Amino acid sequence: MSYLSFLLTFILSANILLFLLLQKRKRGAKYDSPIQWNHRNRRLLFILLFIIIILYTTPWDSFLIHKGVWNYHRNQVIGITVYGVPIEEITFYILQTILILQWFTLIQFNIPVLHPQMYSKWKTRLASIIIWVFWFGIAITLYFVLNHRLSSHLTYLSLLGSWALFPLGIQMLYNAKLLLANSKLLFWVIFPPTLYLSVCDSVAIHQGIWYFHQSRILDLTVYGVPIEEIIFFLLTNTLVSWSAILVWPKEKSIPPRNVKILTAFSDAPHK
């Protein structure tokens, strides 16, 4: 299996399925879709998100290849690269982002984005604690990056932490309380795609599309998938989901009491 066929089989097909489910759900709902995809400002926001993800991820991914964390078989890619990163890998970033945004939209029909007017004291305190934990994590990972010469089993984990925790820490500083208020929504948006993408990763590894150098990762795998890869999907899905929450206009949110819970697969007409 080539990298391109992998994308078509597992990532693009999942996006198409979600798109069809969304169209079905929109037709069956009494209210408009919680995300107005044709709204100019929203479209520009998501285009900006794609650009940021590509510009932020590609150099980091190139550095991982350069440091021997992972690599790919040349006979299973088209051959077009950007700083050593195959074009299929960059396509993966884009498709994963679209996948999460579509999944976010689908889940948001049942668990709408909340914009509380007031926050409880415990949530305010918890938000402050989490912010400090995030920035402490950033400091720790930067320490490993700067002091271990990137030549140990902690290479992938330290580079991953220093790359992902920084933007997540910025998002927490921006509005940690809003993220906590939507913890239920975020749980269902983040974890199922993380599981699915980890399974897809296992298939790609067993097909020999990409591989990892054992000296650069921890000796901990799940069905052949390095634990760092699972953490990677968890963090990137979190980054996209938090971005969607933080740019969500208050006036576009649907009050929970007005939402009728429907299953995505139901064909029952609404009265």
264: left (phi over 0), alpha (psi -120 to 50) or beta: alpha
Q: Are 178 and 119 in contact (CB under 8 A)?
A: no
- pLDDT tens per residue across all 271 residues of the chain: 999 999 999 999 999 999 999 888 877 665 444 444 445 666 777 788 888 889 999 999 999 999 899 999 999 999 899 999 999 999 999 999 999 999 998 998 888 888 776 666 676 677 777 777 777 777 777 777 666 656 678 889 888 988 988 888 888 888 888 888 898 999 999 999 999 999 999 999 999 999 999 989 998 999 999 999 999 999 999 999 999 888 876 654 444 444 443 344 344 444 3
d(CA 266, CA 96): 26
Q: Is 210 helix (H, G, I), strand (E, B) or coil?
A: strand
DSSP state of 269: P
What Cα–Cα distance (Å) separates residue 118 from each residue in 46, 123, 130? 28, 10, 19
pTM: 0.82
d(CA 41, CA 127): 29
Q: Which two tokens stand for residue 231?
A: 């953490």
